Amino acid sequence: MGKKLIWSLLAALMLTLALGAASAEEAPDLTGECTFRLCSTGRRASTMTDGKYTTYWESNKIRHPYVTITSDTPMYGLYLCFRQMPQSFEIQVQETREGQESESEWVTLMPGDTRFQHSFYELDGVHGVRIYSTQESAHKMGFNEVFVFGEGTVPGWVQRWEETEGKADILFFSAHPDDELIFLGGAIPTYAAEMKKRVVVAYLSWSNTTRRSEALNGLWSMGVRHYPEFGGFRDSYSKNAKEAYKGLGRDKVLGWVTELYRKHQPEAVVTHDLNGEYGHGQHKMMADAAIEGYTLAADPSQYPESAAAYGTWQVKKLYVHLFGDETNQTRFDWNVPLESLGGKTGLEAASEAYALHKTQEGAEVKIKGKWHRLSVEVTGAAYPNTAFGLYATEVGPDETHTDFLEHIE
């Protein structure tokens, strides 16, 4: 082989490698360079581009609210974190009219995805994009955060959610965002990310739009990719389950739990302590509802509307936090490094996810007469997030006491 040919091949190889490296570069964040034009005034656009989910922009109550974004640098990605999502909306781009180069009109690029409050949309190097509500009635549209990206690989923190396909392996019931971290410890990252199980997390209440975004950010950071369920019930403190049911409507709560059992068909369900950990009535109610749902979901005469939609379902195993005596509890070590999360332990992943719940910074709870700051490490040790009791089973008692899915094929 001649020297010229060898050098030509080497040059071609180097060019290919260079192009591959360039294409693998992370997409730059263009948000700060973009110009935002809003359909109505009130809050400044900066409130949805400051990286703080505790601030937001929201339109007035009008027909067809919109946000227009323009950039001198071509835009290749749009990441929307909604505060108020319309019933329907479109991602639109500008198209120059034939023969009128100075004029352009907005045309539909794709319909908006109303399944997820956080969604990513791929663009094709456009300089103008508009989020336009197609809902006919007067309403508000708002965002906790909006991000715009240039060309390159989408950053890993950008959420691209999936719906749970087929049966779930485990359904985790949490009363509020952050309870799933404090009281379940490393369970979610261990089963979702490391063991690759189909995990669904359900929240009774998302409290407010900021806490909903924080829940999504926390779950995504732990490797969860299936979108959680948000019950939308009001977050309020109560002393016991009866009081909590009275405030929300017992029939509504049990109907929601039963529907999720039937919809996701989980093999195992894991939920709160019967005593509400530190005594929170909604925690107690969540445990009670999970227990009631175990029987209700299998009975076609109960909540027939969800039975007609999804069929009935018998959960195989139901675990309750701290239930039973230590000799029969299923106990976990959440300090095992998880390869899927770069060597972080399940507890570390939960703790880092909790740090994304900015609204909970400084929150405290009284434990044995003393106030303690809520945390995965301290509160999760006071009410051990490693201990769970098998409350009900269709597949016999546990033997190893180390796996929620023991005896389930």
* Predicted pLDDT at 88: 98
| pTM of full prediction above 0.95 | no
pLDDT at 383: 96
Can you give the pLDDT at residue 41?
65
Angle at 325 between CA 319 and CA 330, to 5 degrees: 40
Q: d(Cα 327, Cα 321) in Å, to the nearest integer?
A: 14
DSSP 77-143: EEEEEEEE--SSEEEEEEEEETTEEEEEEEEEEEE--TT-SEEEEEEEEEEEEEEEE---S-B--EE
Task: Give the pLDDT confidence score for residue 19 in this predicted structure.
Answer: 45
pLDDT at residue 10, as a whole number: 52
At 22 the pLDDT is 44
Helix axes 250-264, 241-248, angle to 10 degrees: 90
Report d(CA 145, CA 118) in Å as an integer. 9
* Whole-number pLDDT of residue 115: 96
Coil, strand or helix at 33: helix
Domain boundaries along the sequence of the chain: 31-149, 170-393
Query: What is the C-alpha separation between 120 and 149, in angstroms, rounded?
Result: 10
pLDDT at 225: 96
Residue 377 vs residues 199, 293, 347, 352, 372: alpha-carbon distances, Å:
23, 31, 8, 11, 11
List, for the chain, all residue ranges whose pLDDT scores fall below the cut of 50.
5, 9, 15-23
Both tokens of 17, joined, read 């490698």
CATH number of 31-149: 2.60.120.260
Q: Assign domain 170-393 to a CATH class.
A: alpha beta
Whole-number pLDDT of residue 18 = 47
Instruction: Give per-residue pLDDT as tens, 285-300.
Output: 999 999 999 999 999 9
SS3 label, residue 319: strand
